[in-house]
Amino acid sequence: MSTISITPFLWFDNNASDAIERYLTVFPDSELVNENRMPDGSIFIATLRLQGQEIMLLNGGPAHPHTEAFSLSVGVETQEEVDSISEALIDGGGEQGPCGWLTDAFGLSWQVVPALLGQLMSDPDPEKVGRVGTALRQMTRLNLQGLQDAYDGKG
C-alpha cells in the first residue's frame, strides 16, 4: 500500500490565522488538524481538513501572492449551498467572478460548482450542452434554475 499523499499548500502573506478561522466557519464539517506557531504566537504553518480534504497554510510573507491559476473547487448540491458558501467566502473583501468562480478576502480563488452542472454538461446532445455552456458563460454566481432552463431550451 502506498503512503504517498497530495495536499494543497497555500502561501499567505501574514493572514493564515484569519483564513483558517473563515474556512472553518464556512465549511462546518472541518477541523484544524495541527498548527505550528512563531514565538509571538502567530501561526507559521497549519493543516486544515475541510470537508475531508487536507490543506496546508503558511504565513510566508508577500513574496508569492495567490493567483487565479490555482483554485479550490467546492462541489455542492443546492442553490442554497451555492449562495451561502459564495457569500461566506467573499464576505469581507472578496469578489464574485465569472462562471461560479470567486476570489475570497485573502486572494484565494474558489469555484462553487453544483453537481447539476456536471450532469447537464455530460448529456450526449450537443445542442443541450451548448445552451448550458452559453448560459454558464453569462453567469457570475451559478444559478441552478437558469442552467436547467437553458438545458430544457426555455428562455
Residue 36, phi-psi category: left (phi > 0), alpha (psi -120 to 50), beta (remainder)? beta
Over residues 28-84, the pLDDT tens digits come to 899 999 999 888 877 799 999 999 999 999 999 899 999 999 999 999 999 999 999
Contact 85, 91 (CB under 8 A): no
Domain boundaries for CATH 3.10.180.10 within the chain: 7-61, 66-155
Name the band, by pLDDT with cuts 50, 70 and 90, for residue 3: confident
Q: Which strand ranges, in their side-by-side order, compose the sheet holding 30-37?
A: 9-12, 53-59, 43-50, 30-37
Contact 141, 82 (CB under 8 A): yes
The fold for domain 66-155 equals 2,3-Dihydroxybiphenyl 1,2-Dioxygenase; domain 1 (3.10.180)
Burial of 52 (0-12, 13-18, 19+ CB in 10 A): exposed
Name the band, by pLDDT with cuts 50, 70 and 90, for residue 12: very high
Distance of alpha carbon 64 from its chain centroid, rounded? 19
CATH superfamily of 7-61: 2,3-Dihydroxybiphenyl 1,2-Dioxygenase, domain 1 (3.10.180.10)
Contact 50, 27 (CB under 8 A): yes
pTM (two decimals): 0.91
- C-alpha 25/C-alpha 34 separation (Å) is 17
- C-alpha 23/C-alpha 110 separation (Å) is 12
